[in-house]
Chains A and B, each alone.
Chain A
Amino acid sequence: MPAAVSILPSQQLAALNDAYRKAVARKRLRTTLVTAVCFAALLIAAMGAEVNVVTFFGKIGNFASYFDRIFTLDGGVRVWNDIGEWFWGWKKWLSLLGETVLISYVGTLVGAVIAFGLNFLAAENTGPSVALRFAVKRFMEFCRTVPDIVFALIFVIAFGLGPMAGVLAIAIHCIGALGKQYGEIVENIDMKPVEGVRATGASWMACMRFAVLPQVAAGFASYTLLRFEINVRGASVMGFVGAGGIGQELVVAVRKFYYSDVSAILVMIIGTVFIIDIGTGWMRGRLFGKEARS
């Protein structure tokens, strides 16, 4: 079959070309406008944030030299030449890191248990009453919007300095964050088992236990593990406001210019976060592996 390119009469072609150019021009105009608005917003933001390019380039050398200094021991040698000297306080730091992980664990567990209790009330398909659902949802929103470190600041005053304030702050934040994620899982379940259980005359509680829970347990566990991981990072800075964990040591080291300590503590924090990441990743894999098999 011979290929034929149909050529339109020039009058018709001109009209089409015109329409095409107009469409392209409109699109270009829109892109330009959006870009201009973005740049204007950034410019205003830059003024608001007191951005000073001169300072930045004048002091960017400090950034490199700061890292140079934190990787140098007092004796003037690189830290990795004398690991013993670098990690001189490893016993204290390790126990503080243990405390950090414990803060995260206890806080996550408390928050998860409360979120678990609340989310069935907040999910659209299982919530027993509209008013209750609204109230629980707003409560969770409050818990997750106020940053955990702000709660920690207030709790340090109410409960005194120490890890307890950190645990409670993480727990509160966890209620909000996990409650929302749990609620989303519950809203996505298959409702037929629930109807089946309800048809036997079961109470609301029994419906949740026998129809909803088996469907959501693995998802809940996975989100909880992920939250634990996030909370370890969060707990590592709780000490900045006196709420326990390794943060206290770090902030002292930074403020008092104990350079090599800063790098040692940072390395230990990053190592811990890696280990927790890998551990929870492995556990999540196992959980879902089990789920797939059954």
Chain B
Amino acid sequence: MSKLPSANSEDLRARYPAVFNQPVASRAAVPAVFVAALALFIFGLNELEFSPARMLSGLRQLGWIVMMMIPPDPGSSLPAYLAAMGETLSIALLGTTLAAVFALPVSLLAARNIVPSNFFRFPVRRFLDSIRGVDTLIWALVWINVVGLGPFAGVLAIAVSDFGAFGKLFSEAIEAADKKQVEGIRASGGSALHEIRFGLLPQVLPVIAGQVLYFIESNTRSATIIGIVGAGGIGLQLAEQIRVLEWQKVSFLILMILVAVAAIDWISSRLRFAIIGRRAVV
């Protein structure tokens, strides 16, 4: 690349002082952030007992495990695995549906255009936030204490943790709804419930349906793991086979999960497009 003549570059410097004479503080900001991030990273590696030796021996071990995984082979327990997969899908479907049914009325309470008073809305929102702050696996542990081991605890765990997420998402969808239709209902003498039923719900139901389908998809993933703590589904089998080091079965189970998630992905995205058209669901 040819250099600019020096006189010209002086000229440029004079013309754009803001570009060439930035204060040191703003020029140092980006490197400073990088250095701080790196320092914390190194501190973290140290604190979390990383060491090259452990890393190497671990990688060797991992390579060996991967070798043992090939070829994937279910042995004689294929029917049991298929049943567990069905259980996982059931947990995802049922848990999401339950969550959506219970979240809809609560999300109305958390939406600004339904409940204008901050005083009532705030506790509802914080309540939903704290439910979301607890991971699905923790909810599964709690429900196991209540209804015992098995897939039913998984359904309830997914239902509760999604209840928090749905409450927030639905209330956002409701807040984004167009006000004019609600006003139209009010102008024709409808009560508050009429406003919600005929002015609001027709607008938000497609959005909500899209979100529910999306969550069924993502819950298929969550439902595969809640078995690890004993709440049913394919996770139980997976954790067991990992514990007894049956690597061929493990890789088969992982493949099953990948295929099932891909299938649910495909079905739910088709349904979603059918319901709301080619619009992105966030």
Chain A residues engaging chain B, CB cutoff 8 angstroms: 41-42, 44-52, 55-56, 59-60, 62-63, 66, 99, 102-103, 105-106, 109, 142, 145-147, 149-150, 153-155, 157-160, 162-164, 167, 200-201, 233-234, 236-237, 240-241, 244, 250-251, 254, 266, 269-270, 273-274
Please measure, in the bound complex, the distance between the C-alpha atom of A62 and the C-alpha atom of B148, giving whole angstroms: 11
Please give 8 more A-B residue pairs, beta carbons under 8 A apart, in addition to A49-B155, A50-B232, A147-B224: A45-B90, A59-B148, A149-B228, A150-B254, A153-B228, A158-B58, A164-B48, A240-B228
Contact in complex: B94, A51 (CB < 8 Å): yes
Inter-chain CA distance A163–B49, complex, in Å, is 8
**Which of B73-81, B117-125, B138-146, B196-204 lies at the interface with chain A?**
B138-146
Cβ of B60 to closest chain A Cβ, rounded Å = 9
Shortest Cβ distance from B50 into A: residue: A164
Q: Which residues of A contact B150 (CB under 8 A)?
A: 50
Q: Which of B102-110, B173-181, B185-193, B237-245 contacts A (4 or more CB under 8 A)?
A: B237-245
Set of chain A residues within 8 Å of B43, measured between Cβ atoms: 102
Once the chains bind, are A48 and B138 in contact (CB under 8 Å)? Answer: no
- Indicate whether A102 sits within 8 Å of B44 (C-beta atoms), given known contacts A46-B90, A62-B146, A145-B258: yes
- The A interface, classified by DSSP as helix, strand, loop or mixed, is helix
Instruction: Determine if A153 and B146 form an interchain contact, defined as CB atoms under 8 angstroms apart.
Output: no
B147 at the interface (CB under 8 A from A): yes
17 A-B contact pairs sorted by A residue (CB < 8 Å): A45-B93, A50-B152, A51-B155, A63-B143, A105-B44, A109-B37, A146-B257, A150-B254, A153-B228, A154-B65, A155-B58, A158-B58, A158-B59, A158-B62, A163-B49, A164-B58, A240-B137
**Interchain CB contact under 8 A, B62 and A200:** no
Within the complex, the shortest CB–CB distance from B130 to chain A, in Å, comes to: 5
Seen from chain B, the residues whose Cβ lies within 8 Å of a Cβ on chain A are: 1, 37, 40-41, 43-45, 47-50, 54-55, 58-59, 61-62, 65, 86-87, 89-91, 93-94, 97, 129-130, 133-135, 137-138, 141-143, 145-148, 150-152, 154-155, 221-222, 224-225, 228-229, 232, 238-239, 242, 245, 250, 254, 257-258, 261-262
A48 and B86 contact, CB distance less than 8 A: yes
Smallest CB gap from A272: residue in B: B133
Closest A residue, CB atoms, query B247: A154
Give the contacting residue for B133; candidates A49, A55, A270; CB below 8 A: A270
Whether B135 and A106, one on each chain, are in contact in the complex, defined by CB atoms closer than 8 angstroms, is no
Q: Is the CB of A49 within 8 A of B90?
A: yes
Complex Cα spacing A157 to B250, Å: 13
A160-B58, A244-B48 known; A45 and B89 CB under 8 Å?
Answer: yes
In the complex the two chains form, is A45's CB within 8 Å of B94's CB?
yes
Verify B145–A62 contact, CB threshold 8 A.
Answer: yes
**Known: A50-B152, A149-B228, A154-B65. Contact between A269 and B142, CB under 8 A?**
no
User: Do A106 and B147 contact each other (CB < 8 Å), given the known contacts A46-B90, A66-B142?
Assistant: no
Q: How far is the CA of A157 from the CA of B65 in the complex (A)?
A: 9
Give A49 to B157 CA distance when docked, in angstroms.
Answer: 13
- Please state if B130 and A270 are interface contacts (CB–CB under 8 Å): yes
Which residues from A are CB-within-8-Å of B54?
159-160, 164
Distance, CA A109 to CA B258, complexed state (A): 26
Shortest CB distance A116–B (Å)? 13
Task: Give B92's nearest chain A residue, CB to CB.
Answer: A45
- Which residues from chain A contact B155 at a C-beta distance below 8 Å? 49, 51
Question: Chain A residues with Cβ under 8 A from B221's Cβ?
Answer: 145, 147
Q: Please name the residue on chain A nearest to B233 by beta carbon.
A: A49
B254 near A146: Cβ-Cβ < 8 Å: yes
Q: CA separation between A150 and B250, bound complex, in Å?
A: 10
A147–B89 alpha-carbon span in the complex (Å): 15
